[in-house]
Chains A and B, each alone.
Chain A
Amino acid sequence: MTSTGPRWVRYASGAVMAVVLVALPFMFPAFRVNQFVTWMCLAVAAAGLNLLTGFNGQISVGHGALYGLGAYTAAILVTDSGWPMLATPVAAAAVCFVAGVVIGLPALRIKGLYLALVTLAVATLFPALVEQFSSLTGGSSGLSLVVPQDDCPRGRPECPVRWESPIDGLASDQWRYFVFLAVTVVMFIVVANIVRSRTGRSLVAIRDNEVAAEASGVNVSRAKILTFGTSAAIAGVGGAMLALNNGRVNPTSFTLLVSIYLLVAVVVGGAATIVGPAVGTVVAGLFNDVIAPELPGRFENAAPVILGVLLVIQMLLAPNGIVGQIRDLQARIAARRHGGDPGGQTGHLATPGGTGTEPEDLGSASGT
């Protein structure tokens, strides 16, 4: 929202990021490239959660379930209904939007910790629901995506999802990487566009000061519900991506842990920043997929503990997340250059729940 540093810094960092993203699949073996794609799916879901929790201040511990709902929607549509693969994220978004609106309804009455509890219930319920509807979902054994293809081995009409590269010299893992990167970038642009609009401003206003938002004409209930739905829809797209990437879905992939993982990604990367969720997902992914497996045997089981300790350290050193911290730093440098005072800690968007100006008119307004 606010300009983050001089324009050339933004362009330069954007260009560097683009180069790195394009170069990555050529620098790593296929299994790593595949991991990167998994991170993209999570990053999209985290971006959806960030819209709700970071920008709108509604905490959800249930986005793992919406991620899962998106994945199952895609899997079922591809396998049972023969949908073209790249159409399924759209359907997943629609289904998850509706689910998000329904889950968001209680959010009109409850906030904060209580809302977290309701969404927590959704997260814990999801795997059980999958088992319940096992004829559709394959129950605990999961569901493998199969698509009709002309060239399936042994003359069968259907076979598992494949990502055949149409470009010479581009391996299938690299091709898939770029397809998913494109979807991911689109989803982040979607979030950025929402945030930088009239709607986005009203979401932040609701987060920081509901009474003021309402007095300015924002229909707070409507905005909260729509945010819940939109956030769920984006998480659903992430889930659909995961299903298409893995070629199968399992209830164990969408436990409460995933919900927490998404929250961690948002907080570590920087809540209420655009690229924060992506950065957070990469950091968490690096730890889980790259560093943790390298830990000496003795420490293997300690990985979650180590991650927890790192999280605590981060909360102490950079409570606004990595991106939030960088932005604060830039703001401070800019303020110093302009000779003004740095304006204390620059509030910006990076403080879900809102600091300071609560609508005290509501409290014991003794008035002075």
Chain B
Amino acid sequence: MVDNVGVHFGGVSALDGLSFSIEEGQLAALIGPNGAGKTTLFNVVSRIYEASEGAVTFDGRDLLAMPAHSIAELGVGRTFQNLALVPGLTVLENVMVGAHSRSSGGFWSAILRFPQAAEERRVATRAHEILERLSLDHLAGRPCAGLPYGTLKRIEFARALAGKPRLLMLDEPASGLTHGEVDELGALIRQIRDEFDLTVLLVEHHMSMVMAISEKIVVMDLGTKIAEGDPAAVRDDPAVISAYLGAST
């Protein structure tokens, strides 16, 4: 899926010849110390960053040839490490924005209102369902501003699901959560993957969660892959251990 991708900022190589692939339906984790390039990869896939070389293939299509706004429609959804919600909209409306690529209607039909009424109801109903599933529906009418960090991350999760993705990329969904909540979220991600038929690419620093739910782990450091495999194999890999020890000192 990801083939030899490179991203360079000035002299810094954020990604350097990164290649790996994940299979349909897999719950894969992408881990590595801070600055390894995990978020950068997400941004390449979302077409926010331009890759200077390499290819990202999803479903046989070259994502890097697509404009940024088409990525959602192709079935790739994501959340952001540093929250990218819309503070000017309510929780429900944020989730409805997530369904943008799965709904229709422009200026003209909006002016008349009635051509979109049924569609609006459908999108709102589905947004409520997703919020319900993530135990957020009681917040539907609230503006996003002022809600706790963990809740906002979960709203982003809901927004991404509203786009009916087949590949969902989660960038540190557990940050700001307590230990108990992290375990709960891990279980939830797994359930959601099954219920929504997703392929999940998870970036997360909580190793207990990563080890517990991932079927495959890709370990990165300094923009390159240093290990890849199932949780047990990766845990004992000497390169991984040294990268993590090196990073923490």
Question: Which A residues are within 8 Å of any B CB, using their own CB?
Answer: 1-3, 190, 193-194, 197-202, 204-205, 207-209, 211-220, 226, 230, 272, 331, 341-351, 354-357, 359-362, 365-368
Subset of 6 A-B contacts with CB under 8 Å? A214-B68, A217-B73, A355-B145, A357-B86, A361-B80, A366-B35
* B123 interfacial by beta-carbon distance below 8 Å: yes
Give CA–CA (A230, B108) in the complex, Å: 10
A324 vs chain B, min Cβ distance (A): 11
> Which of B51-59, B93-101, B236-244 is near enough to bind chain A?
B93-101
Contact of B72 among A211, A216, A220 (CB under 8 A): A216
Give CA–CA (A198, B205) in the complex, Å: 36
Q: Which residues of B contact A355 (CB under 8 A)?
A: 87, 145
A3 contacts B141, CB within 8 Å?
A: yes
B38 contacts A219, CB within 8 Å?
A: no
B residues 139-166 in Cβ contact with A at 8 Å: 141-147, 159, 163
Give CA–CA (A321, B112) in the complex, Å: 28
From A201, A213, A350, A366, residue with most partner B Cβ within 10 Å: A201
B87 contacts A217, CB within 8 Å?
A: no
B167 vs chain A, min Cβ distance (A): 13
A365 contacts B105, CB within 8 Å?
A: no
Q: Which residues of A contact B87 (CB under 8 A)?
A: 208, 347, 351, 354-357
For residue A217, which residue of chain B has the nearest CB? B101
A361 contacts B82, CB within 8 Å?
A: yes
Q: Which residues of B contact A216 (CB under 8 A)?
A: 72, 97-98, 100-101, 159, 163
Given contacts A218-B100, A361-B81, contact A344 B145 (CB under 8 A): yes
A355 vs chain B, min Cβ distance (A): 6
Given contacts A198-B120, A362-B48, contact A347 B100 (CB under 8 A): no
**Chain B interface size, under 10 / 10 to 19 / 20 to 34 / 35 or more:** 35 or more
Q: Which residues of B contact A348 (CB under 8 A)?
A: 88, 143, 145
Give CA–CA (A341, B90) in the complex, Å: 16
Given contacts A212-B85, A217-B101, A357-B84, contact A346 B143 (CB under 8 A): yes
Question: Which B residues are within 8 Å of any A CB, using their own CB?
Answer: 34-35, 38-40, 42-43, 46, 48, 67-73, 77-78, 80-90, 93, 96-98, 100-107, 110-113, 116, 119-120, 123, 141-147, 159, 163, 171-172, 175, 205
Contact of B103 among A194, A198, A208 (CB under 8 A): A198
A266 vs chain B, min Cβ distance (A): 16
Instruction: State the majority secondary structure of interface residues on A.
Output: loop
Give CA–CA (A361, B72) in the complex, Å: 18
For residue B76, which residue of chain A has the nearest CB? A215
Give CA–CA (A141, B89) in the complex, Å: 48
Give CA–CA (A290, B174) in the complex, Å: 59
B143 contacts A347, CB within 8 Å?
A: yes
B153 vs chain A, min Cβ distance (A): 12
Contact of B110 among A199, A272, A354, A368 (CB under 8 A): A199
A223 vs chain B, min Cβ distance (A): 9
B89 contacts A205, CB within 8 Å?
A: yes
Contact of A211 among B48, B90, B97, B116 (CB under 8 A): B48
Q: Which residues of B contact A360 (CB under 8 A)?
A: 81-82
A205 contacts B86, CB within 8 Å?
A: yes
Taking A215-B71, A346-B145 as known contacts, 7 extra A-B pairs with beta carbons closer than 8 A to each other, sorted by chain A number, are A2-B141, A214-B48, A215-B78, A216-B100, A217-B73, A218-B97, A345-B146
Contact of A198 among B43, B82, B100, B175 (CB under 8 A): B100
